[in-house]
Structure 1
Amino acid sequence: MSDAIHLVCPHCDAVNRVPASRPLMEAKCGKCHDKLFTGRPLELTEKTFDRHASRAGIPLVVDFWAPWCGPCKMMAPAFAQAARQLEPQARLAKVNTEKDQRLAMRFGIRSIPTMIVFRQGRELGRTSGAMDASGLEGWIRGVL
């Protein structure tokens, strides 16, 4: 049996088993048939968070942010650029702490933006404060 990587679809949240020999950027969901990588951050909610954080075979980098936060808005384009650069080695996602306050409380988010790297549901690292794209990529690669 060959090795496979589990990837959660950013469109329908189905868990897909993708052969490790297959180019991940070309992989499509077996359920909805959309691409498994979009080159942009995924919006996660309390309903979808755990599936993406614990079931994926690649790290998940989550930006906890709020729409009223100036530094969060300033960092959004850099976070999107980092998503394009780091896929498929990692999936980048955002959690709106205003809409999903229980997730923010669960992870002890005290300041925003706060980024947390998860692998198979476990926290690998966290940092707070806005960064530019190269700072984000450097921090993420350092954690991984």
Structure 2
Amino acid sequence: MSHPIFADLEMEQLRPDTFDSKLEQHANELVGVFFWGHDCPNCEVAKKMIHQDSSDVKSLGLKWFHVNTYEDFDLATRFGLHGIPTFIFFYQGKRLGKISPFPGMTPFMTALRELRAKYPG
């Protein structure tokens, strides 16, 4: 069952065969990729908190995608994830950084605002 956060932020699921092409299609946008997994308690906390403040997150204008690391473990390996949830950010094909573990909404929004200020797109 899909979580409302995916609809809130219009998050398309990326798979190994679509990951690079989708990032390339959105190279001129600030992109956030949410790496998560089913039955991950910390992922559920992040989803719930972001869903509650989804209008604030959406107002920053990032392009969002998600990856279920349990379905696509090779993407988790590719990015050297040591835990989920993890958020990795990209701009013009370059990896900018990550947020992991989910720090709560205030630090999460602060980091997103700082990214947006650096990459106003």
Encode CA deviations 1:75-123: one digit per residue, 9 max, x unaligned.
Answer: 1133345654344721122111011111111111111111111112211
Report the equivalent of 2:19.
49
More helix by share: 2
Do the aligned partners of residues 41 and 113 (structure 1) sit closer, same or farther apart at CA in structure 2, a change above 3 Å counting?
Answer: same
* Structure having the higher Rg: 1
**Separation of aligned partners in 2, 1:53 and 1:82:** 25
Q: CA deviation at 1:42?
A: 2.5
Tell me the amino acid that sits aligned with residue 121 of structure 1: G
Report the equivalent of 1:71.
42
Secondary structure at 1:118's aligned position in 2?
strand
**Separation of aligned partners in 2, 1:38 and 1:73:** 15
Secondary structure at 2:96's aligned position in 1?
strand
Q: Return 5+ residue gaps in structure 1 as ranges.
A: 1-36
Residues matched between the structures, number: 108
2:75 aligned residue (103, 117, 122): 103
C-alpha contact 2:69 2:75 (8 A) present in aligned 1: yes
What TM-score, normalized to structure 1? 0.63
Alignment of 1:61-140 (within 5 A): 61-80=32-51, 84-87=55-58, 89-140=61-112
> Runs ≥4 in structure 1, deviation > 6 angstroms?
none
C-alpha contact 2:14 2:65 (8 A) present in aligned 1: yes
**Separation of aligned partners in 2, 1:54 and 1:80:** 27
Tell me the amino acid that sits aligned with residue 17 of structure 2: K
**Separation of aligned partners in 1, 2:111 and 2:69:** 22
Please give the root-mean-square deviation of Cα atoms over the aligned residues, in Å: 2.3
| Identity across the alignment (%) | 28
Report the equivalent of 2:3.
none
What TM-score, normalized to structure 2? 0.74
Q: Return 5+ residue gaps in structure 2 as ranges.
A: 1-6, 117-121
Bigger relative contact order (CA 8 A; separation at least 6): 2
Report the equivalent of 1:141.
113
